[in-house]
Amino acid sequence: MTQKTANLLSALLITAGALAGAFAYPHMADVVPTHWNAAGEVDGYSSKLKGVLIGPVGALAMCLLMWVIPKISPKGFRTTEFAGVIHIFQVTLVLFMLAVGGLIVLSGLGHPVSIERVIPLAVGLLLIIIGNYAGKLRKNFFVGIRTPWTLASDEVWMRTHRMAGYCFVAAGVGLMIVGVAGLGIVPLVGLSIAAGLLPVAYSFLLYRRLEGFDHADE
């Protein structure tokens, strides 16, 4: 995906989200749910203006972040080689933020929202998409499993991100099952943490096996 395509899709999606929010705004309650606990129960409220803005503003922030990353990447860590992946992540994150905002708007309109089902499904899909492209990431300071060991070795970076891709996809599938079964938010947290920590531990073990920690030359 080119940057032009990603920016065009993002702009269209954000505009559609903002227009939908503007249309729904007059019909929403003055105070809307914006936070849910692990049991899927509402435990935080905000004004309807904030509720309407969360999705489009969050999506716009993701666009700006993905635009800034290539601009500030230092030499030797440019993102040019995997720019297409960055663009796919941009559109995916925009969709994710708009989906979260859409749930808040629906809640503000009085429609029941099964957070314990929808959020695991959304996060699961997000992890599956990220996992499918994780192996194409190259060494950089902003996106990926950035541990001292992956940043110190191209081989460790490459193999860790291949392994991370499998972890993310597996966790994503698991989360979608959790969502369909309505098992709640707790499994979401557990699977997400596991998907993040396993590659970190793997990068350390792999670096120790390939490079070692011999400090005799110090």
Instruction: Give the residue, 61 or 38, on which the prediction is more confident.
Output: 61
Shared domain for 80 and 123, answered yes or no, is no
Domain that holds residue 166: 117-218
Residue-wise pLDDT tens digits, 172-204 = 999 999 888 888 778 888 888 999 999 999 999
132: Cβ contacts below 8 Å, ≥ 6 apart:
165, 169
Shared domain for 95 and 148, answered yes or no, is no
Give the span between the Cα atoms of 185 and 7, in whole angstroms: 32
Give the span between the Cα atoms of 179 and 185, in whole angstroms: 9
Q: Once rounded to an integer, what is the mean pLDDT over residues 48-65?
A: 93
Residue-wise pLDDT tens digits, 92-107 = 999 999 999 999 999 9
pLDDT of residue 36: 81
pTM of this structure: 0.86
Shared domain for 80 and 105, answered yes or no, is yes
Shared domain for 6 and 81, answered yes or no, is yes
How far is C-alpha 217 from the chain's CA centre? 41
Q: What torsion do the CA atoms of 177, 183, 189, 192 make, to the nearest 10 degrees?
A: -10
Shared domain for 36 and 107, answered yes or no, is yes
Confidence of residue 165 (pLDDT cuts 50, 70, 90): very high
The overall longest dimension of the chain from CA atoms, in Å, is 70
Shared domain for 105 and 84, answered yes or no, is yes
pLDDT of residue 50: 92
Shared domain for 121 and 109, answered yes or no, is no
Query: Could you give phi then psi for residue 41, rounded to 5 degrees?
Result: -95, 145
- Domain end (from 80, 113, 146): 113
Residue-wise pLDDT tens digits, 117-162 = 888 899 999 999 999 999 999 988 888 999 999 999 999 999 999 9
CB atoms within 10 A of CB 49: 13
Shared domain for 128 and 108, answered yes or no, is no
Shared domain for 124 and 203, answered yes or no, is yes
Eight-class DSSP state of 27 = G
Shared domain for 141 and 170, answered yes or no, is yes
pLDDT of residue 96: 94
Token representation of residue 92: 């995916």
Shared domain for 71 and 163, answered yes or no, is no
- Domain end (from 62, 85, 113): 113
How high is the mean pLDDT of the chain?
89
Token representation of residue 93: 């994150």
Strand partners, 36: 42
pLDDT of residue 215: 59
Shared domain for 171 and 95, answered yes or no, is no
How many domains, the chain? Answer: 2
Numbers of helices and strands, H then E, in the chain: 7, 2
- Domain end (from 95, 113, 131): 113
